[in-house]
Amino acid sequence: MKNTALTGVHTALGAKMVPFAGYNMPVQYTGINAEHETVRKGVGVFDVSHMGEFILKGENALALIQKVTSNDASKLYDGKVQYSCLPNEDGGIVDDLLVYRIDEKTYMLVVNASNIEKDWNWISKYNTDGVEMKDISDRTSLLAIQGPKAAEALQSLTDIDLASMEYYTFKKGTFAGINNVVVSATGYTGAGGFEIYFDNEHAEFIWDAVFKAGEPFGIKPIGLAARDTLRLEMGFCLYGNDIDDTTSPLEAGLGWVTKFSKEFTNSEALQAQKQAGVSQKLVGFEMIDRGIPRHDYTIVDAEGNNIGRVTSGTQSPSLQKAIGLGYVKNEFAKEGSEIYISIRDNKVKAKVVKPPFYK
């Protein structure tokens, strides 16, 4: 089990620690609902240092990114971030990721913790033009400081004007007196806020500075369990649950990051799939009858025929109702369709809704 530079801090705070993607991570501190609420209404801090970061550098860096990712990275400018995915050769997804353009010849890719080695090997396989690749994951810490009060809570720590930063942009600057910190207006909670990248050696110092600055705003540490309920309320995909090596980006509703204006891995097959239409789709649903949908529960129709499977599900803390994501046959994907989740051999009624669940 790997630790992050802040594992000792989480333990001292009494966090419940669990193994996650090969790391010892805090799943909760005081309780999921309270932590969830903190982020929706105030400001909370996640240690997400388990995520992977690669630097790609050189004349052909953009060409390599264009070859391996589905989105069009030529649209990026310095300081802009893009959500994308790495399609595999069989119609599935190697990973979803963020692409940061640092300058014309330098990019940072941020990948999921469980896929660091897989992604590195995948991108390396296509690196035939001498792009310099550096895996900086093990020396990089990452805090996600999320919530409507995030900009206000952090502003005293930096001369970067946080409130004016546009969504999916980043700046490099001084933060808590530390140089060369990447401050990014991104996050996976739908609550607004920032993600900050810095060297491990500064982790405890920056953590303490963030909590001191955020104290008047009721800042709290938040675990991975609330991160999951927050992202699910927005209908955001989680790799390994909602998308994986077998799910097509088009089935997963990621057509918006699948740009056929360029050639990329498996783009011809995916374009053919787009023209032919997909046979299943990832949909959002909310429970009508009582019951909580869980990963891999079967989805059935009124007659009890298998029509799909649940990929993510929870009791939504903000909405006080059970919600989920799942793949269903195309004919059941329409908004308002009645579906049933098989929970302990009972058919429990649900209806298809369009995410985000929390508006």
Mean pLDDT value of segment 47-73: 98
pLDDT for res 351: 98
Q: Give the separation between CA 292 and CA 287, rounded to whole angstroms.
A: 8
Mean pLDDT value of segment 197-221: 98
Give the pLDDT confidence of 145-155 residue by residue, as tens digits.
999 999 999 99
Q: Give the separation between CA 22 and CA 264, rounded to whole angstroms.
A: 30
Give the pLDDT confidence of 299-351 residue by residue, as tens digits.
999 999 999 999 999 999 999 999 999 999 999 999 999 999 999 999 999 99
328 token code pair: 């269903």
Please provide the average confidence, as pLDDT, over all residues in the chain.
Answer: 98
Q: What are phi and psi of 351, to 5 degrees?
A: -135, 150
Give the pLDDT confidence of 165-195 residue by residue, as tens digits.
999 999 999 999 999 999 999 999 999 999 9
pLDDT for res 211: 98
Give the pLDDT confidence of 10-38 residue by residue, as tens digits.
999 999 999 999 999 999 999 999 999 99
Residue 251 bridge partners (DSSP): none
CB 357 within 8 A of CB 323: yes
pLDDT for res 54: 99
Adjacency order of strands within the sheet including 140-146? 170-175, 178-184, 193-199, 140-146, 44-47, 220-221
Confidence of residue 231 (pLDDT cuts 50, 70, 90): very high
pLDDT for res 255: 97
pLDDT for res 260: 98
